[in-house]
Amino acid sequence: MKTEEIRELLEKYYKGESSEEEELALRRFFEAENIPEEFACEKTIFRYFSEAASVPAPSEGFEEKIISVVAKDERIRLIPVFRSRVITYSSIAAGLLLLFGSYFFFIYKSEPKDTFSNPEIAYAETVRILFEVSSQFNQGTKQLDQVRKFDDVTAKSLSTINNSTMLIENNLKNLDYFQRAINMITSPMEFVINK
């Protein structure tokens, strides 16, 4: 094809007036290797269309899958709106319940009554209750004896480790003194040998 024919076909193509045969001719022209430099952009476009034509058609049920995903996404977007409404209505209900509850509490509040008419019986009952509380408390603290034993064992273990560490430090100091002594003995000999 001549360059002028290509220009005319491209002009018709871009205006949307080209026929299928003319578009096919353009595709074939741009599939060739030797294309003038002025048509480099069109070459890229028509090669893309040729490659896109080889893309397979969507599988069966593709549209239904897309629609279901979009519907699911819309439901997920509605959840925060639903939650905010539930929280609002729950807050209002809790406030009203609190108001009604406090109203009935203050209207029907009763004064504490004396349960014992005899002070000696009241004292005896108080002592009995305090004794029960004390015995329950003591039973609860018995379990702490095992923790105290564990603390004692840990303290003894740490003391043993500390003693071992001090022994090792002392032995290392003795080795350091011994090494210094060896260095002092050998250094005069090196001085004599080097002369």
What does the mean pLDDT of the chain come to?
79
Task: Tell me: do 41 and 83 sit in the same domain.
Answer: no
Q: What is the pLDDT of residue 188?
A: 60
At 97, is the pLDDT very low, low, confident or very high (cuts 50, 70, 90)? very high
Residue 183, in any domain of the structure: no
The reported pTM is 0.29
Q: Are residues 20 and 39 in the same domain?
A: yes
Q: What is the pLDDT of residues 166-188, one digit of tens each?
A: 888 888 887 787 788 888 887 76
Which of 19, 34, 55 is where one domain is finished? Answer: 55
15: in domain: yes
Is there a single domain that holds both residue 68 and residue 47? no
Point out the least confidently predicted range of 20-24, 60-64, 177-181, 190-194: 190-194
Same domain for 42 and 65 = no
Residue 8 sits in the same domain as residue 30: yes
User: Are 9 and 44 contained in the same domain?
Assistant: yes
Q: Is residue 123 part of a domain?
A: no
49 and 76 in a single domain? The answer is: no
C-alpha 12 chain-centroid distance: 58
Q: Which residue has the higher pLDDT, 30 or 75?
A: 30
48, 12: one domain = yes
Question: Which residue shows structure tokens 């439901």?
Answer: 75
On whether residue 139 sits in a domain, the answer given is no
Domain extent, residue 78, equals 61-107
Asked if 65 and 98 sit in the same domain, the reply is yes
Q: How many domains does the chain have?
A: 2
Q: Is the residue at 175 inside a domain?
A: no
Three-state SS for the chain is CCHHHHHHHHHHHHHCCCCHHHHHHHHHHHHCCCCCHHHHHHHHHHHHHHHHHCCCCCCCCHHHHHHHHHHHHHHHHHHHHHHHHHHHHHHHHHHHHHHHHHHHHHHCCCCCCCCCCCHHHHHHHHHHHHHHHHHHHHHHHHHHHHHHHHHHHHHHHHHHHHHHHHHHHHHHHHHHHHHHHHHHHHHHHHHHHHC
**Do 14 and 39 fall within a single domain?**
yes
Are residues 85 and 42 located together in one domain of the fold?
no
Of 55, 71, 89, which closes a domain?
55
Domain contains 172: no
Q: Domain for residue 22, yes or no?
A: yes
Is 44 a domain residue?
A: yes
